[in-house]
């Protein structure tokens, strides 16, 4: 579209109403040269303003970033949780999925379709199964775990954990002072 057409449209919108025809019997007293000069001034100002706008167009106002609503729950709603359960995702892995959604900006279905997400979910599930299958120190267990004082008393060393090492030293001193003064192995 040529500049003249844009200029004409802009100028025509701002034009005041033209003086009307004189009624019969009245003389036309309109100073047409003054009217023409007035309209010429308005048109030239509009033309200059249009040139300025074309040279430096106004930047669009930035939209403020919407803050998350306070009443929205963090994490998934019941629908998403049901979808995740139906997809075979354990509730322990919901936070991992939510984190991946935030990092990638993708939807729940897209994140679940990623190969690395499926591999991570499988690795997490395998780790949980392994932990559940490993026996914990119960009545049938003959050995103590490494985080107990009895284990280190029987082994004879000190653990790396300073708090546990202090407890082991205290138990050894108590054992030495309260224990039997005679040896467990007699001399023959």
* Whole-number Å distance between alpha carbons of 66 and 64: 6
The answer to whether 54 and 41 are in contact (CB under 8 A) is no
Domain extents in the chain: 78-133, 149-178
**SS3 for 167?**
helix
CA atoms within 13 A on the CB side of 23: 0
Q: pLDDT value at position 15? A: 53
Q: pLDDT value at position 118? A: 92
pTM of the full predicted structure? 0.37
Tokens of 22: 């004189």
Q: pLDDT value at position 73? A: 46
**SS3 for 22?**
coil
Q: pLDDT value at position 8? A: 52
CA dihedral 143, 148, 152, 155 (to 10 degrees): 10
* Whole-number Å distance between alpha carbons of 174 and 149: 13
Beta strands (DSSP E) in 54-174 are none
* Whole-number Å distance between alpha carbons of 129 and 120: 14
pLDDT by 10-residue block (mean), the chain, 188 residues: 50 56 71 88 92 84 64 71 90 90 90 92 90 71 71 83 89 82 73
Q: pLDDT value at position 120? A: 92
Q: pLDDT value at position 186? A: 74
* Whole-number Å distance between alpha carbons of 183 and 86: 65
* Whole-number Å distance between alpha carbons of 142 and 154: 12
């Amino acid at each position: 579209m040529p500049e003249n057409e844009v200029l004409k449209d802009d100028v025509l919108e701002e034009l005041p109403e033209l003086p009307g025809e004189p009624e019969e019997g009245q003389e036309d007293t309109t100073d047409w040269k003054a009217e023409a000069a007035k309209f010429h001034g308005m048109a030239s100002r509009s033309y200059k303003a249009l040139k300025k706008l074309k040279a430096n167009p106004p930047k669009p106002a930035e939209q403020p970033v919407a803050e998350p609503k306070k009443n929205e729950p963090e994490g998934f709603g019941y629908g998403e949780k049901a979808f995740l359960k139906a997809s075979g995702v354990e509730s322990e892995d919901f936070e991992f999925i939510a984190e991946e959604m935030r990092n990638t900006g993708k939807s729940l279905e897209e994140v679940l379709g990623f190969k690395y997400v499926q591999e991570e979910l499988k690795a997490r599930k395998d780790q949980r199964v392994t932990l559940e299958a490993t026996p914990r120190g119960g009545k049938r267990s003959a050995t103590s775990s490494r985080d107990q004082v009895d284990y280190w008393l029987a082994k004879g060393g000190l653990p790396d954990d300073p708090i546990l090492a202090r407890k082991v030293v205290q138990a050894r001193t108590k054992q030495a002072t309260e224990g039997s003064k005679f040896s467990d192995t007699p001399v023959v």
